[in-house]
Amino acid sequence: MSRIGKLPIEIPSGVTITVDSDVITVKGAKGELTVPHLSDVTVAVDEGVATVTRNDDERIAKAQHGLQRALLNNAVVGVTQGFEKKLEVNGVGFRVATSNNELDMALGFSHPVKYKAPAGVTITSEKMAITVTGIDKQQVGQVAAEIRSLKKPEPYKGKGIKYADEVVLRKAGKAGK
């Protein structure tokens, strides 16, 4: 039995889950998300608890059991609390500003770097910190990864964009004679 898949999902008040044959819709205070309904599992919603059970003990059903529960739980958390990722910008001369959900950055290139956030994701900046928020966990993580990839942190001086909880292992420079 999947350790993740067998856990029930508590449905907070104000959240409704609609199960169809191919998609599961989760509506809450922050918005609405759809989760694909995987073929080898069954989702049952009753009295404030959603449970995921697999149809048989085949290998694919075992794999989809935990995945379906995790996707559904992330949707419930997203429409109630939302998700956020924090990034830090380190470097002399680096600059970050936001306007109209667009990020304007000076990252040491000969040109300014602009990043437009997709619908459903909000980007804010304060000094040298960037915060990415939204209700879809996958989309928030993808946007944060795309922003980080614009200037990855380098190991010698630590310059670049890194996650707030990321530790950049520093290397020693060239040893002199």
pLDDT range class, residue 131, cuts 50, 70, 90? very high
pLDDT digits (tens, 9 = 90+) for 32-58: 999 999 989 999 999 889 999 999 989
Q: Reply yes or no on whether the pLDDT at 123 is more than 90.
A: yes
Mean pLDDT, residues 124-149: 94
Using pLDDT thresholds of 50, 70 and 90, give the confidence band for residue 175: confident
Q: Find how far residue 98's CA is from the centre of its chain.
A: 20
Q: The whole model's pTM is what?
A: 0.88
Question: Quick one: pLDDT at residue 7?
Answer: 92
pLDDT for residue 104 is more than 80: yes
pLDDT attached to residue 1 = 64
DSSP designation for 92: T
Q: What is the mean pLDDT of the chain?
A: 92
Please answer whether residues 123 and 170 qualify as being in contact, where contact means their C-beta atoms are separated by less than 8 angstroms: no
- Is residue 47 within 8 Å of 123, Cβ to Cβ? no
CATH class of the domain at 83-163: alpha beta
Angle between helices 137-149 and 59-80 (to 10 degrees): 80
CB contact at 8 A, 42 and 21: no
* Same topology between domain 9-80 and domain 83-163: yes
Q: DSSP string of 132-172? A: EEES-HHHHHHHHHHHHHTSPPPTTT--EEEETT--PPP--
Per-residue pLDDT band for 176 (boundaries 50, 70, 90) equals confident
pLDDT average, residue stretch 119-147: 94
- For domain 9-80, give the CATH superfamily: Ribosomal protein L6 (3.90.930.12)
The ranges assigned to domains in the chain are 9-80, 83-163
- Asked if 113 and 69 count as a contact pair (C-beta separation under 8 A), the reply is no
- Using a 10 angstrom Cβ sphere, with 0-12 exposed, 13-18 middle and 19 or more buried, the burial of residue 23 is exposed
In eight-state DSSP terms, residue 20 is: -
Measured CA distances, 87 to 27, 56, 99 (Å)? 29, 43, 17
